[in-house]
Amino acid sequence: MIGLCTLILTAVVHAASVDTQRHRLARDGMLSAIRADYQDTANYIGQDRADPDVLLAMGKVPRHEFVPRGARRHAYANRPLPIGHGQTISQPYIVALMTDLLDVEAGDRILEVGTGSGYQAAVLAALVSQVYSIEIIEPLAEQARQRLQRLGYSNITVRAGDGYFGWRQHAPFDAIVVTAAASHVPPPLIEQLKPGGRMIIPVGTRFMVQELLMVVKDDAGSVTTRQILPVRFVPLTGGH
């Protein structure tokens, strides 16, 4: 009897964490939706296709592991989903676009502000050597840390804190991605960006249109900003 219980329990645990054929098919559907959104927004972003490496990375990350159990059946829908504490995991197309715009290279060290579920960090981790991610809501930071560890992402470091101030200890970064909307581009993040580096950040308030911005620091350290696309993100909070 004990043996049978153990067997059943093992099967249940296994089913909860395994990446099945059904998940892989759903992930293919998600990639098709992302490709379609690229076509629809080509005028804004100046390209009608996603970087194949980004799609490859998103085809690998088990998004269903990053959403609450009750939302699993929507895990691969091309839309944001609630993750608790009033926060959301971003829409897959937006994750693809932000990752794509960062234009990362294999050896890069990336800072993410707004860990949330850890999904964006996991997608980046498939493409670069090290991801540092900061989350202001402690329980979310802790959950993301445990989830990423359980899924075997060894090149992501998560800490709880206010990402407005960046992560001085690991700066400068090759690229920075902010996944919550700020009222302005935080100066500490510009400081912590390497010359030649890029930051992708939504800027605007909760009640106004937010714009996804690409901030580029050239080799001489001058900064230019380009508007990419109107977007909607949860706000960047904190005491700054």
Binding site for ligand SAH (CB under 6 A): 87-90, 113-114, 116-117, 119-120, 134-137, 140, 162-164, 179-180, 234, 236-238
Cβ closer to ligand SAH: 48 or 150? 150
Query: Any bridge partners for residue 231, and if so which?
Result: 210
In angstroms, the Cα distances linking 211 to 100, 185, 188 are 17, 12, 20
- Least distance between ligand SAH and beta carbon 108 (Å): 17
Q: At what angle do helices 21-40 and 92-102 cross, to 10 degrees?
A: 70
Cβ closer to ligand SAH: 58 or 137? 137
Q: Choose, from 90, 129, 133, 222, the residue flagged as catalytic.
A: 90
- Least distance between ligand SAH and beta carbon 139 (Å): 10
Distance CA 43, CA 40 (A): 8
- Least distance between ligand SAH and beta carbon 7 (Å): 35
Cβ closer to ligand SAH: 117 or 130? 117
- Least distance between ligand SAH and beta carbon 121 (Å): 7
In the numeric block, which tokens belong to residue 136?
Answer: 């202001």
Judging by beta carbons within 10 Å of its beta carbon (0-12, 13-18, 19+), is residue 32 exposed, middle or buried? exposed
Distance CA 68, CA 221 (A): 42
192, 172 Cβ separation under 8 angstroms: yes
Cβ closer to ligand SAH: 10 or 146? 146
The single-letter code of the amino acid at 57 is A
- Least distance between ligand SAH and beta carbon 123 (Å): 8
Cβ closer to ligand SAH: 186 or 197? 186
Distance CA 203, CA 137 (A): 20
Would you call 183 a catalytic residue per the annotation?
A: no
Neighbours of 147 (CB within 10 A): 17
Q: Which residues are marked as active site?
A: 90
